[in-house]
Every structure is written in structure tokens, then in C-alpha cells.
Amino acid sequence: MRKYLILILLVFICACGSTQQLPDLKDTAFRNFESYKTNFLNGREGVSEPHFNKAKQALSDGNDLYLLAKIYLTKYALHTAVLEDFDNSEFVRINQLQPSESNFAYYNFLNGNFAAAEDNLLPSNYRGFIKAARDKDLAKAVGEIKSISDPLSRLIASGILVKYMSYDEKILQSAINTSAGNGWRRPLWAYLTKLHKYYLDSGETVKAKSTKERLDLLKK
């Protein structure tokens, strides 16, 4: 996901000429959004939200609706990665003013509208996963998620699978391992909570009790 955001901003560097610096507004937006992302994933939402607002303001000041839509989509993607719902009203409003096929494809992807998300308009690391999701091939989808090298992108795909497809213990454990491996508290707690519910629903009371005890311990 970090590479995806950097790539978006590099488009502007290339447009200005490779010897020029990143425009100040874009640089301010990127740095603040990175701070937002880090704090969000570590469960510090009170700290993270002001950084998002600063990033949003910088792009608004530059009259850049395309990138403004991108940071809203990326915010939605972060919520998806931690199994949370999101309010899509701002993106819908922006996209009505300045439609973008690639932005709308990613929006459909995040909402589980796989048929409406064109493969060639999505970041390349999701293309194998969306094909499997469109075919409702859970085993293939899980395999494609595990093959995604970027950990945040892997969590976003995991969140989409859990929210809009069937899921099993393996994908939840994979997301837990990804979260723990990067020190991301918010998704770690989210997937442990989901795993606890999965065990309860499956009648695996011993595993459910152990997972709940682990979660309670981590939250102290």
C-alpha cells in the first residue's frame, strides 16, 4: 500500500520533470497520510485523524480531486483491513464531480462488488485475488492473498474476503500473523476477535476460550 501511494505521487514528479521536487502540497499530504496510516494501524485513532485531516486539506488546497479521492479510498481500505465498515459518502461526492474509472474500480473492490471491479484498473497485486473471488473459489482466493508480498495489501484483501466471502481459520490466522509481524495492534485485535467468534460458532469451545484469554491479555 505504501508503494501504491508513492506511485501515485510519482506521477506528479514525472509530469513536472524528473529534476524537480515533489510539489509541497503533495509532499505535505503524503507525509501526513503516512502518519495517519501508522497511528491508525497501531490503534491510536485520536492521534491519527488530525493527520488525515491535514492530508485532506493539503490536497483540497491544491484543487486535486483525483488524489483526494485516492486518500479517501485508502482510508476505506484501512478500515477494511481491520474489518470495520466505512462511510463512503465523501468518495461518492468527489467521484460525481470528477469521475475516475480506476478509483471507482477500487471502490467496488473494497465493497465486494467483484463483477464491477475491472481487473486491469486495480493495483496488480490484487488481480489474482479478485479473479478467485469472482469465481467464488475460496481456496484459490486464500492462496492469492498469501502470495501478496506487501503486508498491508495482504490485510486489505483478507478483510475483503472475511467481509464478503466465506472464510476459515487459516485466513484468520494468516491475518493475525501478518498483523503481529508488523506490530499492528488494531488489525491484530480485530482478527483475534473474529477468530474467537469463529471458534464459538464452530462449537470449538476450548479454542474459543484460549483465544479470548489471549485477546484479554493483549488488551491489558
Domain extent listing, the chain? 2-184
Write out the DSSP string of 157-169: HHHHHHHHS---H
Nearest to 171, CA basis, from 182, 158, 184? 158
165, amino acid identity: M
Q: Note the pLDDT of residue 21.
A: 42
Q: Note the pLDDT of residue 29.
A: 85
Q: Note the pLDDT of residue 46.
A: 81
Q: Are 109 and 160 in contact (CB under 8 A)?
A: yes
Q: Note the pLDDT of residue 11.
A: 39
Residue the block writes with cell 462511510: 87
Q: Kindly report the pTM of this predicted structure.
A: 0.87
Q: Note the pLDDT of residue 20.
A: 37
Cα Rg for the chain, rounded, in angstroms? Answer: 18
Mean pLDDT, contiguous 10-residue spans, the chain (220 residues): 48 34 69 91 88 89 89 94 96 96 95 93 92 93 94 95 93 96 96 97 96 92
**In angstroms, how far is CA 147 from the centroid of its own chain?**
16
Q: Note the pLDDT of residue 33.
A: 87
Q: Note the pLDDT of residue 9.
A: 45
Q: Note the pLDDT of residue 135.
A: 94
Alpha-carbon distance 36 to 155, whole Å? 17
